[in-house]
Chain A
């Protein structure tokens, strides 16, 4: 299912759990893996002087420096590289989200794997002129599924028995659904479909009565049945639920209860308003909190 995996990393500890998952997958699927690292942000002119993301120092870019960084990466991932002798290492300069997307466009991987946030932005090298983290910007428009491993707890990719598919009945969710199906068929595991009924923001101050909630739950269950079940005739093991609450909280809870090994969700294609990007949409919160890897699909 995955023949080419692009592992975008900061080559620091923050991405180690993502590395574990990426290399495990590469091994399991006999996939080609490319370690992609953005080493710095250009500071002037024709990008000859670069602000190194790790050392935060201004560096003059030349072949030697690039080779040195590549070597550092090799050393950092020595163990993982033993399992993937054909792995490529690619180093780039530029703004990370842009370069990751550029690499994905050129190399056409089947999956991008990333770690979560690499730390606070106070002294971040990426200046304040850009809104939104690398993750958000990549997830929004990545040309292939994006697998995010945010916490060490989320990095065990041993056997897969339970795939959680979170939906909001949007078109993007349909695409995520199809991907989840593919995955479940290939990995031969259970599919758990979940919809969270958002009781928070909906009714502008007026909270819904319990009857209203339960009627909406029934309606959602009907929608799941109508929308997804017809395509799942060949799936032996599945179930589906609708819970009310704050969506990302409920999904994480549901995944925990069902011992989910992977969550598949759609990343919304609507442009996030200023507010959204600060709070983070549902999927971003799920990524941050889930106890397993999360795959984001946007098309």
Chain B
């Protein structure tokens, strides 16, 4: 089982994830239409680029936009979740050992204490995200079972990862489950809302281009996100 999961399944899930994300990203931009969207994308590439970058970067910074500042609690748990959710899978020592084994090189690695801290933050933030969905009426009305499942799917690897890391119960079992969860997550990414991993950038770029080209970008300072 373990060999299967770290062998063919590893390549398959990673492949599906990466290729899937690429496909979605490319298809997104191919599907943009200057006439239907009413944005002259190609006519002003510099303004478009500036707008896109501004739009993306500001939102990547905690409290970097009016939107983040208006919702401080949400901002904290959002970044609490996402910072760890991005950094830990990529830069965890254990993951990079496997990576070195598989493809010959590894990425930089996190200090184990930091990795633990980030992972705990991910899980706690996820709990609060779920609670938020239950408690706030404006979120409740939008929330469906799908949102909970996605959250569960996303946080399962972290929970199981920690269980394995602290060697609670049967280490082998939990490790396997952790890998399964991880690979399930990877496969799900291109086909579910988790595709926002790339589509966040794509969508923000589009809106950034819109504002950069058509809605004021050529009149001076640009949108104050």
Q: Do chains A and B touch in the complex (CB under 8 A)?
A: no
Measuring CB to CB, which residues of chain A are less than 8 angstroms from any residue of chain B? none
| Chain B residues engaging chain A, CB cutoff 8 angstroms | none
